[in-house]
A and B are shown apart, each in its own frame.
Chain A
Amino acid sequence: MEDLLNKLHNCVEFGKTDINSPYPPDRKGQKGALEYTQELLEKGASPTNIMELALIPAMNKVGRKFSENKVFVPQMLLSAKAMNVSVHLLKPYFRTGELKRKGVFIIGTVFGDLHDIGKNLVAMMVEGAGWEVVDLGVDVKPEKFTEALRQHPGAVVGLSALLTTTMVNMKPVVDAIKAESPATKIIVGGAPLSSGYAFSIGADGYGKNPQENVLWLNAIGYAK
C-alpha cells in the first residue's frame, strides 16, 4: 500500500495524469494518478490516507518548487490535472462524510477579465489541499460573488485578474462582498498585483502564487 501511495505521490508531483497522457514525455505508456488511485481504492486504502499521504504532500511539494522557480506554470498545471483526476475518484467519500473538507473556497476572475489560467491553477491547488471549490469562471460580476456567498455562508473568496487594466475591477467586488458580509475573508492574486495593492483595496490576503494562497487559506481555516 505504501508503495502505491508513493507512486501516486510521484505521479502528482511530476504531472502524470493517466496511462494515455502524453506528458511527461519520458513516461509515455506508464500508469498515472488515475490508475494508481483506482488500485489504491480497490485494495481498500482509506481515502483520508490517499489525500493526506499522497495528494496533499505531492501538491505541497510542487507548490514549493513553484515558489522557488524550480518548476513553472506548465508543470504545475500538469500536476494539478493529475491530482484532480484522483480527487474526482474520491468525491463519493466527501459526500458520505468519510472525508471532510476544510471549508468552501469561492473563486473567480473579476468582471472585464477573461483569463483563466491562474484562476484554474489556484482552484486546482486549493481543491487538492482539501477544500471544496466553487469556481464561478471568468468575467464574474460582484453580484455573482455575493450570490454564491449566500449559497455558501462562511466561504472564503478568491479573486483573480491578469491585466493591469482589469485589476482595478477587484475593488468593486471586494466592496460589494464586504458591504454584504463584512466577516468574509477575501484573497486576491494575479500577475500585476502586489501585496500593497491587495491590502489597499481591502483584501484580507495576497496570493503571490498558488502555494501562498493555499498556505494562507489553511492558516485561516485552522484559525476558525
Chain B
Amino acid sequence: MRTRITDALKSGKILISDGAWGTILQLNGLQPGECPELWNITHPEQVRAIAESYIAAGADLVETNSFGGSCFKLEHFGLAGRVTELNEAAARLSREAAGNDKWVIGSVGPTGKMLVMSDVTEEELYDAFKTQAIALEKGGADAICIETMSDPDEARIAIKAAKENTGLEVICTFTFDAAGENNFYTMMGLTPAQAAQAAQAAGADVIGSNCGNGIANMIKIVEQLREAAPDIPVMVQANAGLPEMKDGKTVYPESPEHMAGFVPEIIRAGANIIGGCCGTTPAHIEAIHKTIKNGRLTK
C-alpha cells in the first residue's frame, strides 16, 4: 500500500514517473483533430494499456490522459460539459493500471487562456481547475500534476484550486526554453528560480520542469530550481529532444540510453522524481529505471 508521495521521498528515495502520453496516443491511432481525452470513454482499453506499459517499464508514478481536460480545452471539441466524466474516467483507467502500490498523478495542462489579455478572469480559471481536480480525485488520483505551465498566475490559481478543493498532493511543473548557456525562461518570461518560488508560495508539494528541448538542459534547470527552493521535492520529465524529420517520418532524437545517461547528473543536481515527456516511450522509462535500484542510483 502506498504512502503519500512526499513521505516516500523523505527518506531520500528516487521515484520514477512515466513518459509521453500524447505521442503514444498518436502512434496508437489518435487522429489530428480528435480529442485525446474523449478516448477515455471511446478507447478505454488503449488508454489503460499506456498506463500499464509504463508501470511494466518500472514507473512508480503514472499520469492520466487528462492534460487537455479543462473546460477551456474541451470546449474546442464541444465537450465542455463533460469535464467531470472525462477526467474521472482518466484517473480511473490509470488507477486500474497502477493497482494499490503505484501512484496516479492526475494531469492538468494550461488552459490556453491568458489573464493578461483579459481572455478569462481569475475566478473562471479557478472554477475550471477546481472542477477538473475534483473529478481526478474522484477517479482515484493520488496527486494533481499541474504541468507545462508558463504563467505564474495561472499556475498559482491551479495549485490553489487543487489544494483547496481536494485532499490530494499537488505537483506543479513548468516548461523552460533555453536562451543561451545558463538562462532559461518560460514562454511568459519566468526563470526557474521565479517559477520555484511562485509554485512553492502557492502551496505546491512538488515542483519541477517538464517538456522543453532535451534532457541535457534539465541539469542546470534543476540546479536553479534547487537553489531557489532547497527543501521541496523536484520532478523532471524531459522530452526526448525536439522532433526531426527523417525519411518522411517524425523522430525524436534522444534514445533511451542517451536520456538514461543523464539521470545520475540530474539526480545529483537535486531531482527526486524523474520521467519523460513528448517522444519518450516505455523503453525510455525502462532505461531510466535501470539506473536506479531500490530508490538509489546504481552508480
Measuring CB to CB, which residues of chain A are less than 8 angstroms from any residue of chain B? 23, 69, 71-75, 77-78, 81, 111-117, 138-139, 163-169, 171, 191-194, 196-197, 200-201
- For the complex, what is the distance from the CA of A193 to the CA of B188, rounded to whole Å? 18
Shortest distance from the beta carbon of B281 to any chain A beta carbon, whole Å: 13
Count chain A CB atoms within 10 A of each CB in B112, B188, B213, B245 and give the residue with the most: B245
- Also in contact, A164 and B114, with CB within 8 A (given A74-B189, A200-B244): no
22 pairs across A/B with beta carbons < 8 Å? A69-B189, A73-B187, A73-B188, A74-B114, A74-B116, A74-B188, A78-B116, A81-B117, A112-B31, A115-B112, A163-B278, A165-B23, A165-B26, A165-B278, A166-B32, A167-B243, A167-B250, A168-B243, A169-B32, A191-B177, A192-B243, A196-B244
Shortest distance from the beta carbon of B222 to any chain A beta carbon, whole Å: 21
- For the complex, what is the distance from the CA of A105 to the CA of B121, rounded to whole Å? 32
Give the contacts of B217-251 with A (CB-CB under 8 A).
239, 242-245, 250
Identify 17 new A-B residue pairs, CB closer than 8 A, beyond the known A165-B26, A168-B250: A23-B116, A69-B180, A69-B189, A73-B187, A74-B151, A74-B188, A77-B114, A81-B117, A111-B32, A112-B31, A112-B33, A114-B73, A117-B187, A164-B252, A167-B243, A192-B242, A200-B245
Residues of A within 8 A of B213 (CB): 192
Q: Does A164 contact B116, Cβ atoms closer than 8 Å?
A: no
Q: Does A111 contact B33, Cβ atoms closer than 8 Å?
A: yes
Across the interface, name the chain B residue whose C-beta is closest to A81. Answer: B117
The contact string, 1 if C-beta is below 8 Å from chain A, for chain B 82-124, is 0000000000000000000000000000001010110000000
Residues of B within 8 A of A138 (CB): 76
- For the complex, what is the distance from the CA of A122 to the CA of B31, rounded to whole Å? 27
Residues of A within 8 A of B116 (CB): 23, 74, 77-78
Shortest distance from the beta carbon of A14 to any chain B beta carbon, whole Å: 13
- For the complex, what is the distance from the CA of A196 to the CA of B246, rounded to whole Å? 11
Shortest distance from the beta carbon of A81 to any chain B beta carbon, whole Å: 7
Q: Looking at chain B, what size class is its interface with the partner chain?
A: 20 to 34
Measuring CB to CB, which residues of chain B are less than 8 angstroms from any residue of chain A? 22-23, 26, 31-33, 73, 76, 112, 114, 116-117, 150-151, 177, 179-180, 183, 185, 187-189, 213, 239, 242-245, 250, 252, 278-279
- Also in contact, A164 and B278, with CB within 8 A (given A200-B244, A200-B245): yes
Q: Does A117 contact B23, Cβ atoms closer than 8 Å?
A: no
- For the complex, what is the distance from the CA of A199 to the CA of B114, rounded to whole Å? 31
User: Chain B interface mostly helix, strand, loop or mixed?
Assistant: loop
Q: Does A201 contact B22, Cβ atoms closer than 8 Å?
A: no
Q: Does B244 contact A164, Cβ atoms closer than 8 Å?
A: no
Residues of A within 8 A of B242 (CB): 164, 192-194, 197
Across the A-B interface, the 8 shortest Cβ-Cβ residue pairs: A112-B32, A72-B189, A200-B245, A164-B278, A74-B116, A69-B179, A114-B76, A165-B22
Residues of B within 8 A of A193 (CB): 242
Q: Does B239 contact A117, Cβ atoms closer than 8 Å?
A: no
Count chain A CB atoms within 10 A of each CB in B239, B242, B278, B279 and give the residue with the most: B242
- Also in contact, A72 and B188, with CB within 8 A (given A111-B32, A164-B242, A168-B250): yes
Across the interface, name the chain B residue whose C-beta is closest to A194. Answer: B242
- For the complex, what is the distance from the CA of A74 to the CA of B150, rounded to whole Å? 11
Shortest distance from the beta carbon of A144 to any chain B beta carbon, whole Å: 13
Shortest distance from the beta carbon of B86 to any chain A beta carbon, whole Å: 16
Residues of B within 8 A of A78 (CB): 116-117
Across the interface, name the chain B residue whose C-beta is closest to A115. Answer: B112
- For the complex, what is the distance from the CA of A201 to the CA of B116, rounded to whole Å? 34
- Also in contact, A164 and B23, with CB within 8 A (given A77-B116, A191-B187): yes
- For the complex, what is the distance from the CA of A54 to the CA of B103, rounded to whole Å? 56
- For the complex, what is the distance from the CA of A19 to the CA of B22, rounded to whole Å? 44
**Residue from the list A71, A114, A139, A164 in contact with B243, Cβ < 8 A:** A164
- For the complex, what is the distance from the CA of A205 to the CA of B73, rounded to whole Å? 30
Residues of A within 8 A of B33 (CB): 111-112, 139
- For the complex, what is the distance from the CA of A168 to the CA of B150, rounded to whole Å? 23
Shortest distance from the beta carbon of A143 to any chain B beta carbon, whole Å: 13
Shortest distance from the beta carbon of B194 to any chain A beta carbon, whole Å: 11
Q: Does B244 contact A197, Cβ atoms closer than 8 Å?
A: yes
Q: Does A163 contact B22, Cβ atoms closer than 8 Å?
A: yes
Q: Does B32 contact A72, Cβ atoms closer than 8 Å?
A: no
Residues of B within 8 A of A171 (CB): 245
Q: Does B239 contact A164, Cβ atoms closer than 8 Å?
A: yes
- For the complex, what is the distance from the CA of A165 to the CA of B243, rounded to whole Å? 9
Residues of A within 8 A of B180 (CB): 69
Across the interface, name the chain B residue whose C-beta is closest to A192. Answer: B242
Q: Does A117 contact B114, Cβ atoms closer than 8 Å?
A: yes
- Also in contact, A197 and B245, with CB within 8 A (given A69-B183, A72-B185, A116-B112): yes
Residues of A within 8 A of B150 (CB): 73
- For the complex, what is the distance from the CA of A117 to the CA of B73, rounded to whole Å? 14
Across the interface, name the chain B residue whose C-beta is closest to A200. Answer: B245
